[in-house]
Amino acid sequence: MKKYTYTEKQDTRSGFGDGMTELGRTNPKVVTLCADLVGSLKTATFIKENPERFFQTGIAEANMMGIAAGLTIGGYIPYPTTFANFGSGRVYDQIRQSIAYSNKNVKIAVSHAGLTLGEDGATHQILEDIAMMRSMPNMTVINPCDYNQTKAATIALADHVGPAYLRFGRPKVPIFTDPNQKFEIGKAWTVNEGKDVSIFATGHLVWEAIQAGEILAEKGIDAEIINIHTIKPLDTAAILKSVRKTKCVVTCEEHQANGGLGDAVAQTLAQNFLAPQEYVAVNDSFGESGTPEQLMAKYGLSAEAIVEKTLKVIARKS
Amino acid sequence: MTAKELKDKSIELRRKTLEIIYNAKAGHTGGSLSIMDILNVLYNRIMNVSPENFNDANRDRYIQSKGHSVEALYTVLADRGFFPEEDLMTLCQYQSPYIGHPTKGVNGMEQNTGGLGHGLPICCGNALAAKKDNSGVKVYTVLGDGEMAEGSNWEAMMFAAHYKLDNLCAILDYNKLQITGSNAEVMGLEPVAKKLEAFGWAVKEVDGHDYDALIETFESLPFEEGKPSFVIAHTVKGKGVSFMENNIKWHHGVPSAEQMEMAREELLIKEEV
Ligand SMILES: Cc1ncc(C[n+]2csc(CCOP(=O)(O)OP(=O)(O)O)c2C)c(N)n1
Ligand SMILES: [Mg+2]
């Protein structure tokens, strides 16, 4: 198992904020909007340096999505920002009709996705947004795993043409990816090559998958770990290549099992290469208050859960 | 309860709200303190709702649209006897039913809220059903001034006027602040009274911390027959603790041990006055 270590923890939303700071300095067409959550989205530096390229919409997310769609006419690249819940489910039809169907170059950037926002509880803990967004034609869906990757994805999106949904989180998590990486939309990253199982992970679960890989190595299991940061378009070539080798799959995401990364992978396998699969995902439930660690453990989104599902899926190989 | 008794009670309610936020190390402090007097009057004087009649279909309904200020609501419900006060020491903790936004797992809670802009439409539905049944049920909600930017509120306002829902009372917690700054900086709301009137509502403005005025206002509902009523309650975010008042830092600020002690002392002095 390839060794991954970290010296610092940082929230992925700060990766977004710092990516925006860089875009502010390099790309004059980038603008951002926010619905009264500037502090949470970490865009203070961008706003300070480019006050004329920031638009506060007030607590009116539906309006914000429409405005973002409209702002594209001068070649502007709008990044509307809010919490993941209010930037997806709350405004689904605005995104669908005005952004995706109309194919507008809007980069929806949302924080506090999933359970790990903690205390605020279920109303804010969106676990269905990947499903909603990946089912939408034209939409690119990205869920980066650490500060560096989020920053790189934020920057890469400015050069990508078309609607996108960039999902990140609140808590401080290990920084373990390359600070100088070039983010390739739609290209999976092989974290570790292995032969016994394919572990496909996205977002905060990638670090958990690495921890699981180490535990599995001690048990003599050689896990291939692949980071699927782009859930749509899905890197089906990388997925199939891996599964043809390992013959079994565990998918890991901070999201409902229904409709997320796991289902995207299952769809690919069902059409191309059948293999047993286990899901590390939330099992048809809303969240609750708690610390990120407590919630991830309760809802089965930990390294331990990945190990358990891996042992199970290996046993299912015929 | 009399205005004087309610006012006395408010000091204890404010202290308890701060204690549970301090204990949880989480909560929406400023907005809870700004609605405390409104909730105190509604639950202890105006509304026909109690632990005894909570299963009675004809109870009055309160739905908190600005769900983030749940700590004030929990405190008032506990004081009213809906559940033991000690329970609130688990606020926001893992596996506690006292989650960071209103949830129906808690006795006395009518509706899950948290995302802003959801309360008023639900209240319209409640008020409409109550009208159809001629049940005499009255429906109340508290909205934040920042929350007023949500279009759903204005859709609901058109509906309530159209259906003449005079059993519906919306209360604006007009503390003039939201998360990022003042309403004026973030998204201008003025002239709000004129806007509400133009949407077909009967409107009264009141000092949201003046017990006599609040009681008089609520006792005069509906303000006009055949129209929904909007109370514009002028409030102070963080009301009752000088260093929290009118300061956006306290939107979800949590007091340190030292600040908690200062707050306790300030509230104690007010009690003596
Ligand atoms: C739809 C939605 N968008 C954003 C938020 C995040 N949020 C919680 S409170 C708040 C500010 C609310 O301001 P205001 O309505 O004035 O409330 P108050 O001042 O009484 O706290 C925001 C933006 C939310 N809960 N719901
Ligand atoms: Mg306010």
Torsions phi, psi of B20, nearest 5? -70, -35
Distance CA B57, CA B49 (A): 10
Q: Catalytic: A184?
A: no
Distance between first and last Cα of chain A: 25
Could you tell me the pLDDT band of residue B273, with boundaries at 50, 70 and 90?
A: low
Q: How far is the CA of B178 from the centre of ligand 1 (A)?
A: 7
ipTM value: 0.93
Q: What is the pLDDT of residue A109?
A: 99
Asked if the Cβ–Cβ distance from B186 to A121 is below 8 Å, we say no
**Residue of chain B nearest A293, judged by CA positions:** B94
Task: Kindly tell me the burial class for residue B39, based on how many C-beta atoms sit within 10 Å of its own C-beta (0-12, 13-18, 19 or more).
Answer: buried
Asked if the Cβ–Cβ distance from B114 to A56 is below 8 Å, we say no
Q: What is the pLDDT of residue B269?
A: 86
B47-84 per-position pLDDT tens digit: 999 999 999 999 999 999 999 999 999 999 999 999 99
Q: Tell me, which fold does domain B3-272 have in CATH?
A: Rossmann fold (3.40.50)
Domains of chain A and CATH, by start: 9-174 (3.40.50.970), 189-316 (3.40.50.920)
Say if B173 is an interface residue toward chain A (CB within 8 Å).
Answer: no
Could you tell me the pLDDT band of residue B143, with boundaries at 50, 70 and 90?
A: very high
CB B143 within 8 A of CB B192: no
Distance CA A96, CA A93 (A): 5
| Cα angle B21-B25-B31, degrees, rounded to a multiple of 5 | 40
Say if A85 is an interface residue toward chain B (CB within 8 Å).
Answer: yes
Nearest in space to A106 (alpha carbons), one of A137, A71, A135, A152: A71
- Give the DSSP per-residue string, B88-114: GGGTT-TT-S--SS--TTSTT------
Distance CA A186, CA A39 (A): 30
Distance, in angstroms, between A44 CA and closest chain B CA?
Answer: 11
Q: How far is the CA of A220 from the centre of ligand 1 (A)?
A: 51
Say if A285 is an interface residue toward chain B (CB within 8 Å).
Answer: no
Distance CA A161, CA A153 (A): 14
Query: In chain A, which among 100-129 make CB contacts under 8 A with chain B?
Result: 118-124
Q: What are the per-10-residue average pLDDT scores of chain A (318 residues)? A: 97 98 98 98 98 98 98 96 98 98 98 96 96 98 98 98 98 98 98 98 98 98 98 98 98 98 98 98 97 96 98 95
Catalytic residue among A22, A52, A61, A224: A61
- Give the DSSP per-residue string, B36-93: HHHHHHIIIII----TTTTT-TTS-EEEESSGGGHHHHHHHHHHTTSS-GGGGGGTT-
Distances (CA, A) of A56 to A217, B51, B146, B175: 50, 43, 12, 19
Could you tell me the pLDDT band of residue B38, with boundaries at 50, 70 and 90?
A: very high
Q: Which amino acid appears at position A187 of this protein?
A: K
Chain B interface, best mutation among A33, A36, A37, A126, by max B CB count within 10 A: A36
Residue B265, SS3? helix
Q: Which atom of ligand 1 is nearest to the CA of A124?
A: 25
Nearest in space to B76 (alpha carbons), one of B3, B123, B17, B1: B17
- Give the DSSP per-residue string, A124-164: T---SHHHHHHTSTT-EEE---SHHHHHHHHHHHHHS-S-E
Mutate to test the pocket of ligand 1, among A59, A83, A111 (most ligand atoms within 8 A of CB): A59
Asked if the Cβ–Cβ distance from A289 to B93 is below 8 Å, we say yes
Query: Which residues line the pocket of ligand 1, CB cutoff 6 A?
Result: A 35-37, 59, 61, 86, 90; B 30-31, 34, 66, 68-69, 114-117, 144-147, 173, 175, 177-179, 237, 251
* Chain B residues close to A62, C-beta within 8 Å: 151
Q: What is the pLDDT of residue B46?
A: 98
By Cβ distance, the residue of B99, B178, B180 closest to A288 is B99
A165-200 per-position pLDDT tens digit: 999 999 999 999 999 999 999 999 999 999 999 999
Distance CA B18, CA B91 (A): 12
By Cβ distance, the residue of A58, A60, A121 closest to B100 is A121
DSSP state of A274: -
Indicate the pTM of the whole model. 0.96
Across the A:B interface, residue pairs with CB atoms under 8 Å apart total: 88
CB A209 within 8 A of CB A306: yes
Rounded to an integer, the average pLDDT of B234-255 is 97
* Chain B residues close to A36, C-beta within 8 Å: 146, 149, 178-180, 186-187
Asked if the Cβ–Cβ distance from B95 to A63 is below 8 Å, we say no
Which ligand has an atom closest to residue B250 CA?
1
Distance CA B244, CA A192 (A): 51
